[in-house]
Structure 1
Amino acid sequence: TPSVAASGSQSLPVAGAAHPTSPTQALGKWQSSCSSREAVLIIPCASLSQCRRFDYRPKTDPYCQARYTFCPTGSAVPVMKEEDVIEVYRLQAPVWEFKYGDLLGHLKIMHDAVGFRSALTGKNYTMEWYELFQLGNCTFPHLRPGMDAPFWCNQGAACFYEGIDDAHWKENGTLVLVTTISGAMFNEMAKWVKYDNETGIYYETWTVQASPDKKSTVWFDSYECSKFILRTYQKLADLGAVFNKVQTNYTSIILFSGEPIYLGNETSIFGPQGNKTLAAAIRDFYYPFKPHKTVREFFVDLLKIIDRVILNHEFYLFYNLEYWFLPMKFPYLKIIYEEVPLPVGSKTSVGV
């Protein structure tokens, strides 16, 4: 089982003892679903845009396999001396830069991390949060023979390791000092990372908005590498870190939808008493997103995806262990690379 480091000399497991409990049902109103022609619950989404926190991590299923090993050089987060001075670096590079170079950088599809340098020891460290089983598995499920419900391999976790690969971050991306903190602040941050990693466990690729307008309703927020870095920066600010005036941009992949329609969870849709018509519709929607063996197969399925998402305005979203129907609308999907300013602490900042 892969693991990442916690504060001190302990490791932070990415697998727990059992499957998390189902989310609590929210109150809402009933209306007819275009997919199932049966009543489904519409939940006002304004308060549901954030990913749910869990009490523990479920065990990863052996069926889920990573092409690239998760956190191969992961190590324990060291306990720093309180009087140490730690430099904090913003790290950003194109996704899959190690394989494709700057290809995805031209599309501004970027991966984010944070670096640390200890003044007392001279050692450098990198911390990031990403998928256990690669992006595709976190975005779309497997349709396994003999299983009614789509099968998800969508956990993400933090990874901490010694060293900063300067060439990786500098060549096509960013490596810039954003703040300086004390060893005591670093140790408090490490405790928070342990909590954050144990309770925020599922990777969510999509942000879902009502329109491209910056003030539009965000139905669902993504939960990926950049969100972890933003949470880390905010924690450091709350601990007293004062950030430099550096512009910080992040990638978001946005779906545009009318008000989402709540459909149910795995049991209510795919269980013995589930909605077979809705279950078939969800499986049929995800089928074209499977891995493709030939170019012809890819283009055939691409046409099916265009037909469903653009021509028929349909998308099924799996979020917080529940399924939602998204009535898609123009411009359907957009990749943006926009500034999110460095944070200001929620309490009086103190110098290092």
Structure 2
Amino acid sequence: MAVCVRVLVVLCVFLSPCVSTSWPVPYRRYQSRSLSNSYCKAQYAFCPTGFKAGYIPTMADNDTIQVFVLKAPVWEFKFGDLLSNFKIMHDAIGFRSKSTGLNYTTEWYELFQLFNCTFPHTVSDHPDPLWCNQGAACLYPGIDDNHWRQNGTLEEVALLSGTQFNQLAKYILQDNTTGLFYETWRVSDTNGSLWFHPFDCASYVVRVFQEMSRLGANYLPGKSGANYTYITLYSDAPRYLGNDTTIFGAQGNQTLAAEIMTFYSYFQAHQPTPKFVESLLEIFDFLYLKDEFYLYYNAGYWHLPMKKPHVKLSYEYEPFKAPN
């Protein structure tokens, strides 16, 4: 009997339909950071002024570190404050050493821009969707006061000791080594059941503040949390479909593979205007008429049976301390 159970467990690892699901699905962590596909090219360099990977300055144990909430509109460099009107904000954290006067900023964002992290490329000579969806933490010297204040937020919220900051640095490095892939969507039911958490700039800030709280950060009076942008897909319970091998491999489900590739083909950037209009109509058909969405999460594909309101943008309060 024990042998049979072990065989079943092994089969469940390799055969995608045999997946035990707990909700929300835990975000997958990795032992080390892998290289992205050589096809993936960044339009804008990632972390151009940042410290080298794996380095965070060490603070004196008796130092006092001021902590700042930083927010600015997404794509501010391109659209100015336009997206702030819809509360579509990018999040970061600032630190200032009182003993040295030096400032630092940390943020987590996509290596190959947001659209590429949300939807894959469909390439004619590539049999499966080609994802460029890695994200990473960036730490760089200075806090750009004008950038954060002009259309967003620069607000001191807490104090850390130097010892606490150095402990936090270890957490940030570990988090960055093991959390590799950007996840744009929060997926839930309209009754409050949560299926998938996002893994993005906001969730990074939430995690870091929760770790600060665990380390004993001293929050300033009246500073207990902040608001963050969520893009939520609404669906009934998702159904796991498989991974790249089980769907798109030689022995895969060719019908399902074609359906997924067709779905993602409508989300390709830089389409000619007539094709773009056609794609918008097809997207509307999938989401609002067929009530379908294909989600890629933890290197696997899920079918979402969509329901009203289908998609919602919100700006929601999250406490700095993790709920019990």
TM over 0.5: yes
| 3-state DSSP of counterpart to 1:340 | strand
1:285 is matched with 263
Match of 1:46 in 2: 23
- Structure 1 window deviating more from structure 2 (165-174 vs 236-245): it is 236-245
Amino acid at match of 2:180: I
The alignment's C-alpha RMSD in Å is 1.8
1:153 matched to 2:148? The reply is no
Shift of 1:242: 2.5
Q: In the alignment, what sits opposite 1:21?
A: none
Give the whole-Å Cα distance in 1 for the aligned partners of 2:193 and 2:279. Answer: 31
Amino acid at match of 1:53: R
Residue among 97, 112, 117 paired with 1:118: 97
What is the aligned residue count? 308
How far residue 294 of structure 1 moved from its aligned partner, in angstroms, is 2.8
Kindly state the Cα deviation for residue 45 of structure 1 after the two structures are TM-superposed.
4.1
| Residue identity (%) | 49
Q: Is the 8 A contact 1:112 1:226 kept in 2?
A: yes
Give yes or no for the alignment of 1:169 onto 2:148. Answer: yes
Corresponding position of 1:31:
none
In the other structure, the counterpart of 1:339 is 317
Aligned mate of 1:318, from 293, 296, 300: 296
Classify 1:26/1:108 alpha carbon distance in 2 versus 1 (closer, same or farther; 3 Å). Answer: farther
Instruction: Find 1:142's aligned residue among 93, 97, 121.
Output: 121
* More displaced 10-residue stretch of structure 1: 252-261 or 54-63: 54-63
Q: 1:274 aligns with which of 231, 248, 252?
A: 252
Partner of 1:210: 189
Runs of 4+ in 1 over 4 A off after TM superposition: 24-27, 39-43
1:305 and 2:283 correspond: yes
Q: TM-score, normalised by structure 2?
A: 0.91
- Contact conserved, 1:149 with 1:270, CA < 8 A, in 2? yes
The aligned counterpart of 1:59 is: 35
CA apart distance, 1:300: 1.2
Quote how far apart the aligned CAs of 1:344 are: 6.2
Contact 1:41 1:262 in 2 (8 A): no
The answer to whether the Cα contact below 8 Å between 1:234 and 1:345 also exists between their aligned partners in 2 is no
* Partners of 2:12 and 2:19 within 8 A in 1: no
Higher normalized helix content (fraction of residues): 2
* CA distance in 2: counterparts of 1:79 and 1:172, whole angstroms: 31
Q: 1:303 is aligned with what amino acid? A: L
Q: Are residues 26 and 178 of structure 1, via their aligned partners in 2, closer, same or farther at CA, if it must alter by over 3 Å?
A: farther
After the TM superposition, which of the residue ranges 242-251 and 316-325 deviates more from structure 2?
A: 242-251
Gaps of 5+ in 1: 1-23, 28-38, 347-352
1:131 touches 1:156 (CA, 8 Å); kept in 2? yes
Report if aligned partners of 1:42, 1:260 keep a CA contact under 8 Å in 2: no
For residues 54 and 25 of structure 1, the distance between their equivalents in structure 2, rounded to whole angstroms, comes to 21
Partner Cα distance (2:20, 2:185) in 1: 19
CA distance in 1, matches of 2:307, 2:23: 18
Which residue is equivalent to 2:273?
295
8 A Cα contact 1:239 1:345, kept in partner? no
Work out whether 1:329 is the aligned partner of 2:307: yes
Q: Distance in 2 between matches of 1:287 and 1:60?
A: 21
C-alpha change, 1:156 and 1:320, in structure 2 (3 Å) is same
TM-score by length of 1: 0.84
- Contact (CA 8 Å) 2:64, 2:99: kept in 1 or not? yes
Aligned counterparts of 2:194 and 2:322: Cα–Cα separation in 1: 23
